[in-house]
Structure formats: C-alpha cells, structure tokens
Amino acid sequence: MKVINIIGAGLAGLSAALTLAEKGIHTRLISRQPSERAQSVLAEGGINAALDTMGEDDTRDLHFEETMRGGAYLADPVAVKALTDGAPGIVERLAAAGVPFSRNPDGSLMLRSFGGQKKKRTAFAQSSTGKMIMTALIDAVRRYEAAGLVERLPHHTMIRLLITDGVCAGVRVRDDYGGRLYDCAGAVIAACGGLNGFFPGVTTGTSDNSGMAAAVLFMQGVKLANLEMIQYHPTTVGIPGKRCLVSEAARGEGGRLFSEKDGVRSYFMEERYPTLKNLMPRDVVSREMYSELRGGAKTFLDMTGIPGETWEHKLSDLREEIIHYLSLDPAAEPVPVEPGIHYFMGGIHVNARHETNLRGLYAAGECACIYHGANRLGGNSVLGALFGGMTAAQSVYEYRSRPRMTDAVFSGHDQLDCEPSDAFSASLGYMLREGLGIVRNDSGIRTALESVQMLGYENEAERAKKALAEAMLYSALGRMESRGAHYREDFPETFEGFRGTTAAQFRDERVRITFEAVGQGE
C-alpha cells in the first residue's frame, strides 16, 4: 500500500492530505501540534483570488502580474501563473465546503483591498479567515480519517529523513508524549511552516514552527533558496513573547499610517505614494516606517475613520484582539505600530511541481520557496499553502517508486533526537537580527556571520540550526543589490544580473551558495 508522510498539519498539510485522500491514497499527517494550533489558524485578512465580484474588472492575469511585480520578479512565473489561475476555483471550493466568507448583498463573495494590488481581490471571513478555512479543512479530513485514509499523528516531531540510494524513502519521527522513535516508510511532503523559531519572541507567528525540520533537511543535502528574503510586516505591536499583528485588512478597510515627531503628524505613505498610499507592498511600507523611526518619529496606525459598520461586519475580531492585548480601542484612538518579522519567502527549493532536489521529497506552504519571490503580497500565502499542498499531492501521486523500506520502531540512538536550548536559540536569533534587519549592509551581515560562526553548539540540533543561520547570512551577503525585502544600503539599486535564486546547500561540511536562474527547479 502506498502511504505518503506529510510533515505539518496546517493549511498546506491538510490540503495535501485531502487531495490524496480524494484519490484513495493513505496519508500520515505528522505534526508537532494538532491542526487546531497550527499557525494557519492565525491568518486574519484573507485569501487572494481574481473573482471580480466587486465590479472592478479584475482578472487572473492582473493577479499574476501583481504577484510577480510584488515579488520583484524572483518567483517562478510558471508556478505563479498556475497559482493565480487556480485561485478562483480554490476559493469557490472553500465556500462550497462551508467557509463562511463575508458576502455582498447579492450573495457573491465580498473582496477587500490588500497591499500591492490595485483591485479588491482578497476574500475574507471577517478577520478570522485562517481559523474558518482550517475549521472546514479539519472537518473534511476527519471524514477521510474515519474511512481509514488519513492517520493523524499530532504531538509527533520529525527527527530526520530516511534516505536510501539517494532517494527519500521515509521519515523518522518521535512521539513527543511517549518519547518513542519510529520510522515511517514512504515519500514525504514537508509542510512544516516558516522559520519563526530562528527569531524567538519577535515574530508574529508561532514558535511551534521551530525551523528545525528545514534545518535538518538542509544538513541532509536538501537545497534551500532565497533565505535572505524575510518579510517585515509594517504593522505589528510588541507583546510578551511575540509580536502581535495588526492585519493589513485594517489598511485595506481605510486604516492610515502616520508618524509623529515634535507634535507634528505626517501621513507619510499618502504623501509619498499617491496611488497605492497605505497599501504599497509590505517591503516598501516597512522601509518607509523604518526611515521615520530612525529619524526619531513614532509611527501609528489610525483606524479611527473606519465606519462602525465596517468594524461590525468585517473587522470585529481584530478590534477585540487589539482591545484584549493593548487595552485600547482602535476605533477610538490610533495604535502605535512598528514593523516586525512576519513571513519567510525563502525555504525549501521546489519547482512548479513542488519537487525538491531529493527524489521522493516534496514541500509546500510557508516552508517552501516558490510563489512569493522577494516579497509576498498579503493574501497570497494562504492561497499558496492550499494550492501548493494540492500540487505537491498531485506530484507525489504520480511519483512511481519501489518500496525501499518498511515501517519499523527505531530502538537505537539518533543524534538528532534533541532540541536546541532556549539560550542557544536566543543568542542565534539576536545575531541574525543584527545582520538581517529591514536595512542591511556588508559590515552588519559580516559581523553577524562571524558571531554565528563563533557560537559553540552542544548537540546536533544546534549544529543544524547554526548551519542554516549561516546560510541565511551568506545568502544576504552574496546578494549585492536591493530587491524586495532585501534592502542593502551599500547596494541600493536592483541589478538584472541578480534576478536569480540564491540556492544554499550543505556539502562537505560547508554551506555553499550559488545563484541560479529563476525557475530552475530540479
């Protein structure tokens, strides 16, 4: 019996499991936390699709063009075309599956404005879109679970891939409650989320996404890409243990950024970008905010002009969240905001079929590098996770392999059955932030790299994490231009010669970086 192992039970993992179950293929859904606690549940603002229900003549081609432009032409156009063409069908299927999307009076799906897009294109369920989509998918997966096609293994951590004759033949996992290790035979889809755990305490995402799965894959020879492309979301607020996101939906519904210094207010985005104003792509907004902050101003999001009806019907969850965490009502007073680490455009290098450089291994969702180039447009990530999960599932379904191993309990000692210490992760995170801020330069990246290289490690997990951190910094050092989220004050221009993928591999005990043509998947 063909069994596919899926690492991660967020949107990408669930989407892959459902696609395979519909084809009668058995999957194991292996995840550190149950789906209900995946980061995907946090998605607020929505999912992009050129549904054109707002009478604005939106098209799939425009969605494609804006995604490519937003990503500074670093994404694979073949993959992006498939994504943007597939988007309306995905949203319609979600609606049919019971996702309570907000609707226009005529019953069609309501769409809102999101950054980097000239048309209203983002479908939403109030400001809890992720939670609503996850609820529908979890429900759908349960039906296949009952039919014996999906086996859910929450509270299980990936330890390593099992590679036989250069092919991914399975995965070793740990039951986090019982501590037992066992080997699961079959091809693997990595759907293990972003690299939040590399920046503990300062990202909008969940620390459950430790980034360790990607670090282990890296050490096992899997190619990673565009690791320097880290998205800072313009509107976040520091709360204990993380940064709280104020969704872009707030600006999509009329929220305005301003800075204040010496009692003088400046609506800087509206002054500098008269067309898209507060809805410029996130890299641009974050850099403008950084420049205001560096000039000694404080930055705020003014949502006091948003009509009461909009709060009630479209943003009630967001308002409640802000009142809960910040003890201030955003409908009545501006919210102090600053940019914070939010999303990782880089990750496991895949082609348009979501194949990695290792036969038998696929990747989808935020852990994969494919659709977002140098900067992700808001609303494209939920879409990319769902579409990527479906595509990876289709590819693995078509993959013909002979069984190379069978399931087994592993009773020996595995050096990777360990975790980095909190102190190690905190030091590494601090060093990375020093080198990979919103504005970067050669000396800052080199200083961070030297610090990381000097950092001692006490176990194999720390060694793997350190190697991936080095790869992030080498990638940033090597890209001697500014593009999307990667802004180098020593190289402020974009150069056509750098319109390529920064590929990172761990070979012969060393991190190696090469530049490849866009879309050159294996």
Catalytic residues, which ones? 282
If the CB atoms of residues 169 and 190 are measured against ligand FAD, the closer one turns out to be 190
Cα gap 302→277, rounded to integer Å: 14
Residues 6+ apart with CB under 8 A from 12: 191, 364, 365, 366, 367, 368, 385, 386, 388, 389, 392
Q: Tell me which residues in 347-386 interact with ligand FAD (CB under 6 A).
A: 365-367, 378-382, 385
Counting contacts by CB under 6 A, is residue 80 touching ligand FAD? no
- When binding is defined by CB under 6 A, the residue of 4, 5, 27, 46 that contacts ligand FAD is 46
Contact stretch for ligand FAD (CB under 6 A) within 10-18, 163-171, 449-457, 489-497: 10-18
59 closest CA partner among 68, 67, 49: 49
Identify the residue among 19, 31, 235, 278 touching ligand FAD (CB under 6 A).
31
Contact 247, 318 (CB under 8 A): yes
Q: How far apart are CA 469 and CA 172, in angstroms?
A: 24
Question: Which span (27-35, 58-66, 143-151, 161-169) binds ligand FAD, by CB under 6 A?
Answer: 27-35
CA angle centred on 515, ends 511 and 519, rounded to 5°: 120
Query: Could you say which residues in the range 168-207 bind ligand FAD, by CB under 6 A?
Result: 191-193, 204-205
Q: What angle do CA 26, 30, 34 make, to 5 degrees?
A: 115
* Member of 6, 44, 80, 302 binding ligand FAD (CB under 6 A): 44
Residues paired with 341 in a beta bridge: 203, 232
Give the closest residue to 232 by CA, choosing from 339, 338, 344, 337. 339
Token couple for 395: 């590819």
- Residue range at the interface with ligand FAD (CB under 6 A); choices 20-28, 61-69, 208-216, 284-292: 208-216
Which 83-142 positions form the footprint of ligand FAD (CB under 6 A)? 129-130
Of the candidates 19, 40, 84, 475, which one interacts with ligand FAD according to CB under 6 A? Answer: 40
Footprint of ligand FAD on 402-461 (CB under 6 A):
none
**Residue 212 interacting with ligand FAD (CB under 6 A):** yes
The answer to whether residues 8 and 191 touch, using CB atoms and an 8 Å cutoff, is yes
Q: Examine residue 484 and tell whether it contacts ligand FAD (CB under 6 A).
A: no
- Decide whether 381 or 482 has the Cβ nearer to ligand FAD: 381
Task: For the CB of residue 304, give the shortest distance to ligand FAD in the complex, in Å.
Answer: 23
Residue 346 lies near ligand FAD (rule: CB under 6 A): no
| Cα gap 39→219, rounded to integer Å | 25
Q: Which is nearer to ligand FAD, 32 or 488 (CB)?
A: 32
E strand or H helix at 156: strand 156-164
225-254 positions binding ligand FAD, by CB under 6 A: 245
> Taking Cα atoms as reference points, which of 272, 276, 270 lies closest to residue 301?
270
The site for ligand FAD (CB under 6 A) is made up of 7-13, 30-33, 38-40, 42-47, 129-130, 157-158, 191-193, 204-205, 208-210, 212-213, 245, 343, 365-367, 378-382, 385
